[in-house]
C-alpha cells in the first residue's frame, strides 16, 4: 500500500458516501476494499471469512461479519454496521460478546 492508493480510496469514499446506506453495501464498498488495500486476499476464505460462527453462551450460531485469519487462526474480528449508523454502547457490547469467547485479541467496528 502506498499513500497514493490510500488517497484515491479516501476520495472514492467521499464520492460514494451518500450511496452507502446498508450494512452489506458498507462491507462491499468500504470494508472489503480497505482490507484489500491493506494486503488481505478478501476472496480467500482461509484469510477473510464472512459470517464467522462465534458461539456466545447459550446462543449458538452467532455470526461475526468478518474474521481475519492468519495460518488458520482468527486474528481479528470485524463487526459491520451501515456507514450511516451512529455507533453506540449496544453495538460495542455486540462485538465484546464475540470477542470474549474467542482467542482473538483484535476487534474492529465499522
**pLDDT by residue, tens only, the chain of 110 residues:** 688 988 999 898 888 888 999 999 999 999 999 999 999 999 999 999 998 887 666 556 678 889 999 999 989 988 888 888 888 887 777 777 666 667 777 777 67
What local confidence, expressed as pLDDT, does residue 14 receive?
87
What local confidence, expressed as pLDDT, does residue 55 receive?
63
What local confidence, expressed as pLDDT, does residue 43 receive?
96
Pairing of strands 73-79, 63-70: antiparallel
What local confidence, expressed as pLDDT, does residue 56 receive?
60
Question: Which strand ranges, in their side-by-side order, compose the sheet holding 63-70?
Answer: 48-53, 63-70, 73-79, 107-109
What local confidence, expressed as pLDDT, does residue 32 receive?
94
E-strand ranges in the chain read: 48-53, 63-70, 73-79, 107-109
pTM: 0.79
| Residues belonging to the chain | 110
What local confidence, expressed as pLDDT, does residue 28 receive?
92
What local confidence, expressed as pLDDT, does residue 59 receive?
59
Amino acid at each position: 500500500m502506498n499513500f497514493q492508493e490510500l488517497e484515491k480510496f479516501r476520495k472514492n469514499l467521499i464520492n460514494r458516501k451518500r450511496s452507502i446506506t446498508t450494512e452489506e453495501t458498507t462491507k462491499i464498498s468500504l470494508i472489503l476494499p480497505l482490507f484489500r488495500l491493506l494486503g488481505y486476499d478478501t476472496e480467500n476464505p482461509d484469510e477473510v471469512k464472512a459470517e464467522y460462527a462465534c458461539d456466545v453462551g447459550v446462543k449458538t450460531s452467532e455470526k461475526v461479519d468478518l474474521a481475519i485469519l492468519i495460518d488458520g487462526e482468527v486474528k481479528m474480528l470485524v463487526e459491520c454496521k451501515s456507514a450511516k449508523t451512529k455507533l453506540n454502547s449496544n453495538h460495542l457490547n455486540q462485538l465484546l460478546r464475540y470477542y470474549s469467547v474467542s482467542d482473538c485479541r483484535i476487534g474492529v467496528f465499522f
